[in-house]
Amino acid sequence: AKTARKRGKSIVKGGLGTAARTAGLLGGILSFAVSEGIIERNPAEGVRRPADQRRTRRLNREEYRRLGQTIEELAGDETDQAILAVKLLALTGCRLGEIAKLRWSEVDRAGQCLRFTDSKEGASVRPIGKVVLDVLCEPSTDAAFVLAGVRKAEAFGGLPRAWLRIVKRARLVGVTPHTLRHSFASVGGDLGYSEPTIGAMLGHAAGSVTSRYIHHLDEVLVAATDRVSETIAAMMFEEVVQNGSAERASTEDQPDPQRAAA
């Protein structure tokens, strides 16, 4: 689209999902204007919005293994922060922003959870598996963030580009950080867990675990999260962490949906 500047143009990006969310935001603004008496009617009322397409891409067993092999091969060539970030994204189902800004003060080892002070849903408590605690080694410095930047008080800023390098090396087409979140939920479904349980693992706003007043998570929920993360770790690295020791797991082993805990 041309702009007022000579030979200027603006490039607008976004698909149907962006259009739907933008129309919804505009409708909300205009509804507020009506309630305040600024305008008499909402001109956006009745306007049909395009359907926001759901993401259905998930990693299969072979793709999980390729991702695991890639980050093992890149150890020493890629930054430690990027390698750790990919592991955490895959094994927790957290959002990219939550991992990128995760502080050591938000890691609750005793409670086996992450206590986000500011996530998409506000304050949120997120259960994590024991394998995640093994990945989260104690910091060797007094850095504030798990993914520490050059300056100790800042977070690592090279994650977006590092992610693109890693998925390209792993030959994973159409895979974004959100794909790992969706895949985490899908593995939970494969194991037979219910939607409310999976939602609680992911920290959805409807889940009671997002309350800032929660101090101790339900043991069943923690055990469910433990099993999902162990299953993913087994697919990625062909090993499962049990009682602090790594045991080799066959890649032919399939999740048993009969052991559902919810």
CB crowding 90-109: b at 16 or more within 10 Å, else e: bbbbbbbebbbbbbeebbbe
Check whether residue 121 and residue 41 sit in a common domain. Answer: no
Q: Is the distance from CB of 69 to CB of 172 less than 8 angstroms?
A: no
For residue 200, the one-letter residue type is: A
Greater confidence, 239 or 179?
179
Q: Is the distance from CB of 64 to CB of 235 less than 8 angstroms?
A: yes
Check whether residue 37 and residue 109 sit in a common domain. Answer: no
For the cut 80, the answer to whether the pLDDT of residue 80 exceeds it is: yes
Distance of alpha carbon 229 from its chain centroid, rounded? 13
Check whether residue 129 and residue 250 sit in a common domain. Answer: yes
Check whether residue 21 and residue 74 sit in a common domain. Answer: no
Check whether residue 104 and residue 197 sit in a common domain. Answer: yes
| pLDDT tens per residue across span 140-168 | 678 889 999 887 788 999 999 999 999 99
Q: How far apart are CA 61 and CA 26, in angstroms?
A: 42
Q: Which domain holds residue 154?
A: 61-259
Number of domains forming the structure of the chain: 2
Greatest extent of the chain over all pairs of C-alpha atoms, in Å: 68
Check whether residue 141 and residue 117 sit in a common domain. Answer: yes
Check whether residue 68 and residue 41 sit in a common domain. Answer: no
Check whether residue 196 and residue 76 sit in a common domain. Answer: yes
| Structure confidence at residue 115 (pLDDT) | 92
| pTM of the predicted protein model | 0.70
For the cut 50, the answer to whether the pLDDT of residue 241 exceeds it is: no
Check whether residue 87 and residue 128 sit in a common domain. Answer: yes
Check whether residue 14 and residue 68 sit in a common domain. Answer: no
Check whether residue 244 and residue 177 sit in a common domain. Answer: yes
- In terms of average pLDDT, the best of 23-32, 48-57, 80-89, 123-132 is 80-89
- Residue 122 φ/ψ, nearest 5 degrees: 90, -145
Quote the tokens at residue 82: 């990027």
Check whether residue 26 and residue 147 sit in a common domain. Answer: no
Query: What separation in angstroms does the CA of 213 have from each of 111, 206, 210?
Result: 14, 15, 9
CB crowding 212-233: b at 16 or more within 10 Å, else e: eebeebeeebbebbbbbbbbbb
